Amino acid sequence: MNPLASASTETDTEVDVRVYEFAVLLPHPMGQKEQQQAMKEIDAIFKEAGAKEVSRDVWGQRGLAYPIEGHTEGNFVVYHQELDPAKVKEVDTALRIVPGVLRHIVVKPPKGYKIVKFSEAYTQWLKERESASEKTKREREAEIQERVADKAKRQVKRAERAKAEAPAQAMSKEEVGKKLEEIISDDSLDI
* pTM passes above 0.75: no
pLDDT per position as a tens digit, 70-92: 888 998 989 999 988 988 999 99
CB 55 within 8 A of CB 80: yes
**What is the DSSP code string of 17-51?**
-EEEEEEEEEESS--HHHHHHHHHHHHHHHHHTT-
How far apart (Å, rounded) are the C-alpha atoms in residues 79 and 99? 18
79 closest CA partner among 110, 30, 125, 119: 119
pLDDT per position as a tens digit, 79-127: 999 988 988 999 999 988 888 888 999 998 888 888 777 777 777 887 8
Amino acid at 7: A
pLDDT of residue 189: 63
Most confident of 11-15, 104-108, 174-178, 181-185: 104-108
Q: Is the pLDDT of residue 148 over 80?
A: yes
> Mean pLDDT across the chain, nearest whole number?
81
CB 85 within 8 A of CB 106: no
CB 16 within 8 A of CB 48: no
How far apart (Å, rounded) are the C-alpha atoms in residues 102 and 25? 6
Could you state, in order of their start, the residue ranges of all structural domains in the chain?
Answer: 7-112, 117-167
Q: Is 57 exposed, middle or buried (0-12, 13-18, 19+ CB in 10 A)?
A: buried
**CATH of the domain spanning 7-112:** 3.30.70.60
